[in-house]
Amino acid sequence: MATTLSSHHTQAPHELQSPLNNSSSSPKIDLNLFPDGLKTTGQHAPLPEHLHPFEDFPSEITGRTVWKAEEYKDHPEKWVHRFTVAEVEELSSAADQFIAAGTPLTGISQ
């Protein structure tokens, strides 16, 4: 399988119009969408020097952190968490409070 390279010519955040970059050719972005500042870089074109062909990757991944199917296939208790009624209520309440606060998803810091 060969590595592919594509580009959609997305615009990097540092190129967006802001008080520091008032270029009329730059699209406007509402910085209020980023209460902690514009930290998310979004999708950029790949850096060809960091791309490796499929053959460079290991054919098998080993180590103590590898999940082996035979250890988990018949033991869902090892990897499935069944939420209790109390946990569902806690998550629901937290989601309701978050929505009521009007904080955008980008405002989540923890």
Q: Compute the distance between CA of residue 94 and CA of residue 81 in angstroms, rounded to an integer.
A: 19
Residue type, 66: V
SS3 28: strand
SS3 29: coil
* Helix (H), strand (E) at residue 98: helix 85-101
For residue range 64-75, list pLDDT tens digits in order. Answer: 999 899 999 999
Residue with tokens 């952190």: 65
Q: What is the pLDDT of residue 1?
A: 45
Tell whether pTM > 0.75: no
Q: What is the pLDDT of residue 47?
A: 84
Q: Which residues of the chain have pLDDT under 70?
A: 1-29, 34-43
| Nearby residues of 87 by Cβ (< 8 Å), 6 or more positions away | none
Q: What is the pLDDT of residue 5?
A: 52
Q: What is the pLDDT of residue 82?
A: 93
Q: Compute the distance between CA of residue 92 and CA of residue 84 in angstroms, rounded to an integer.
A: 12
